[in-house]
C-alpha cells in the first residue's frame, strides 16, 4: 500500500545552516503522526517544506505517490494538503467567516463551500456564534479553532497542524486536542507538531522524535510514551 505522504532523506538549509539533516518518514491514510522535539529541532521547517513554503536542498517529498517538492504552495493545497501554521496567522481585521472563506480560495463550488463553512461551525460552535466578529478580537484558543477551520475549508486529504496548543490555557488545549481526536474519528489524516508531548503521543499512531534536524527515535505513540528517554526529556520525569 502506497503511503499518503512519504518524506525521503529530506534536507533543508537556511544559507549555510542545515536545519533538517536527512529525515525520512511516511504517513498512511487515516493515521495521526506526530513530530516532537525541542525548539530548533527542525519540526516547523519540515512542515513548511512539505507545504511548499521552503525548498529542500536534497531528498524528496511524495504526496499520493506524486513528487511535490518543487511545486508551488497553492498547487500543493489544490492536491489536498493543508497547513495550519504555527502562530495561527489569521487575518485580524477580517471577520471569522471571511477568514474561513479564504481557506476555500481555490474552490469554485459555492454550495459546497457554504456547506463546509457550516461544518466548521458545527466543529467549533463558538465561531458560528460570532461569525461576523473581527477575528482579531478572539482569544488565542478561538483563533486556533479558526486557523484549523480555515485549513479544513480546502477539503484536505492531509491536515498539518503546527503547535496548535501553543500559549493556550489547559482547558482550551483540551478542547483543541478533543477536536483533533474528532477529526481522526472522521477519517482525517493528520501530521501534528506539538510542544505538549504527552498530549501528542497519546493521540498519535506513530511518533518521531526530532533532535537538531534529525529523527533520533521513532515508534508508535504508545511506545514512545513509555520510552524512558522520552519520558525524561519531554515529559518532565526523572
CATH classification at residue 177: 3.40.50.300
> Quick one: what percent of the chain has pLDDT higher than 90?
84
- Sole residue written with cell 479558526: 146
Q: What pLDDT digit, counting tens, does each position of 89-148 carry?
A: 899 999 999 999 999 999 899 999 999 999 999 999 999 999 999 999 999 889 999 999
Q: List, in sequence order, every residue forming a beta bridge with 6; answer none if it has no partner.
A: 26, 62
Q: Residue 206 and residue 20: Cα distance in Å, rounded?
A: 20
DSSP state letter for 30: T
Question: pTM for the full model?
Answer: 0.93
Contacts (Cβ under 8 Å, ≥6 apart) of 138: 90, 96, 130, 146
Cα radius of gyration rounded to whole Å, the chain: 17
- How many domains in the chain? 1
Q: Using an 8 Å Cβ cutoff, are 234 and 195 in contact?
A: no
pLDDT at 183: 94
- 192 SS3 class: strand
For residues 216 and 118, give the distance between their C-alpha atoms in angstroms, rounded to a whole number: 42
Report the SS3 class of residue 212: coil
Domain that holds residue 98: 5-234
- Residue 232 binned pLDDT confidence (cut-offs 50, 70, 90): confident
Amino acid at each position: 500500500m502506497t503511503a499518503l505522504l512519504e518524506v525521503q532523506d529530506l534536507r533543508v538549509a537556511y544559507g549555510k545552516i542545515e536545519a533538517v539533516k536527512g529525515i525520512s518518514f511516511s504517513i498512511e491514510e487515516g493515521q495521526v503522526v506526530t513530530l516532537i522535539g525541542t525548539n530548533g529541532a527542525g519540526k516547523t521547517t519540515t512542515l513548511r517544506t512539505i507545504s511548499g513554503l521552503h525548498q529542500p536542498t536534497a531528498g524528496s517529498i511524495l504526496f499520493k505517490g506524486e513528487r511535490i517538492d518543487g511545486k508551488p504552495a497553492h498547487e500543493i493545497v489544490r492536491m489536498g494538503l493543508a497547513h495550519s501554521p504555527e502562530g495561527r496567522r489569521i487575518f485580524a481585521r477580517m471577520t471569522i467567516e471571511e477568514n474561513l472563506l479564504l481557506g476555500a480560495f481555490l474552490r469554485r463550488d459555492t454550495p459546497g463551500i457554504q456547506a463546509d463553512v457550516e461544518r466548521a461551525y458545527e466543529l467549533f460552535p463558538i465561531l458560528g456564534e460570532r461569525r461576523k466578529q473581527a477575528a482579531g478580537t478572539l482569544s488565542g484558543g478561538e483563533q486556533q479553532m479558526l486557523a484549523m477551520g480555515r485549513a479544513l475549508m480546502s477539503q484536505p486529504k492531509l491536515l498539518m497542524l503546527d503547535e496548535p496548543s501553543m500559549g493556550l490555557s489547559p482547558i482550551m488545549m483540551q478542547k483543541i486536542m478533543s477536536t483533533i481526536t474528532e477529526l481522526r474519528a472522521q477519517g482525517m489524516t493528520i501530521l501534528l507538531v506539538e510542544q505538549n508531548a504527552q498530549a501528542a503521543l497519546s493521540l498519535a499512531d506513530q511518533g518521531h522524535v526530532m533532535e537538531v534536524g534529525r529523527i533520533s527515535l521513532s515508534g508508535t505513540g504508545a511506545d514512545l510514551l513509555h520510552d524512558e528517554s522520552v519520558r525524561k526529556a519531554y515529559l518532565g520525569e526523572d
